[in-house]
Structure 1
Amino acid sequence: MTIKVVFCWSDISGYMAACWRALHQLPDIDVFIVAFQARTETAFSDQLMQGVPCRLLDLKERQDANLIEHLVTENCPDIVVLCGWFHQPYRQLAFASQLHGVTLIMTMDTPWWGTWRQYLTRWVLHSYLKQIDWVVVPGERSWQYARRLGFASARIMRGLYGINYEALASLWQERCQQPWPKSFLFVGRYRHDKGLDVLVEAYRHYRAQVKDPWSLICCGQGSLEHLMQEQPGIEDRGFVQPGDMRDMWRNTGVFLLPSRFDPWPLALVEAASAGLPVICSDACGSAVELIRSEYNGLMIPAEDPAALAQALLTTHKGYDSLLSWGQRSQQLAAPYAAEIWAVRWQKLCYQASQTKKNGKNTNS
Structure 2
Amino acid sequence: MERVYTEKHCVVESPARPRVTFVWNEVNAYMAACWCQLQNTCELSIVSYPTKRPYDNNVVAAVNNHTLLADSSFETLRSAVLAGKPDILVICGWGKRTYRKLARERELADARLVLVIDTPWRDTWSQRLGSLLLNRFCNQFLAVVIASDRGQIYSKRLGFNASQTMTGMYGIDYKSFRAGGEHRPNPWPKSFAYIGRYASEKGINELVDGYKLYREMLTDPWPLDCYGSGPLASLLRVPGIVDHGFVQPNDLPNKLAHAGAFVLPSRYEPWGAVIAEAAASGLPIITTSSCGASVDLVHHCFNGYVCASEGRSICDAFIWVHRNYGGLQSMGRSSQRFAEAYSAEAWASRWTELFYRIS
For this structure pair, what is the TM-score category when the shorter chain's length is used for normalisation? over 0.9
Which of the numbers 316, 320, 324 marks the counterpart of 2:326?
A: 320
User: Which runs of structure 2 are paired with 1:244-283 in the superposition (5 Å)?
Assistant: 244-283=251-290
Who is 1:350 aligned against? 356
Matching of residue 77 in structure 1 with residue 86 in structure 2:
yes
User: Which runs of structure 2 are paired with 1:124-139 in the superposition (5 Å)?
Assistant: 124-139=133-148
Which deviations, in whole Å up to 9, do the C-alpha atoms of 1:109-132 show, x marking residues without a partner? 101111111111122223211111
| Shift of residue 334, structure 1, vs aligned partner | 0.5
Matching of residue 145 in structure 1 with residue 154 in structure 2:
yes
Matching of residue 220 in structure 1 with residue 223 in structure 2:
no
Which of the numbers 182, 194, 208 marks the counterpart of 2:216?
A: 208
Which of the numbers 76, 99, 111 marks the counterpart of 2:120?
A: 111
Who is 1:182 aligned against? 190
Who is 1:34 aligned against? 47
The percent of aligned pairs where both chains have the same amino acid is 37
Who is 2:204 aligned against? 196
Who is 1:47 aligned against? 58
**Please, which runs of 5 or more residues in structure 1 have no aligned partner?**
354-364
| Shift of residue 38, structure 1, vs aligned partner | 2.6
| Shift of residue 262, structure 1, vs aligned partner | 0.4
| Shift of residue 258, structure 1, vs aligned partner | 0.6
**Please, which runs of 5 or more residues in structure 2 have no aligned partner?**
1-15
Who is 1:4 aligned against? 19
Report if the CA contact (8 A) 1:265-1:284 is conserved. yes
| Shift of residue 60, structure 1, vs aligned partner | 2.6
Report if the CA contact (8 A) 1:82-1:91 is conserved. no
Residue identity in the other structure for 1:121: G
Name the CA distance, whole Å, in 2 between partners of 1:44 and 1:92. 30
Residue identity in the other structure for 2:87: D
Residue identity in the other structure for 1:238: G
Name the CA distance, whole Å, in 1 between partners of 2:300 and 2:47. 39
Which of the numbers 59, 67, 70 marks the counterpart of 1:56?
A: 67
Name the CA distance, whole Å, in 2 between partners of 1:90 and 1:97. 14
Name the CA distance, whole Å, in 2 between partners of 1:306 and 1:128. 44
Report if the CA contact (8 A) 1:278-1:298 is conserved. yes
Which deviations, in whole Å up to 9, do the C-alpha atoms of 1:9-47 show, x marking residues without a partner? 0111110000001111x14x10000011232xx223332
TM-score when scaled to structure 2? 0.94
Name the CA distance, whole Å, in 1 between partners of 2:113 and 2:318. 45
Q: Secondary structure at the match of 2:290?
A: coil
State how many pairs are aligned: 344
Greater RCO, 1 or 2 (C-alpha within 8 Å, sep 6+): 1
Name the CA distance, whole Å, in 1 between partners of 2:212 and 2:147. 34
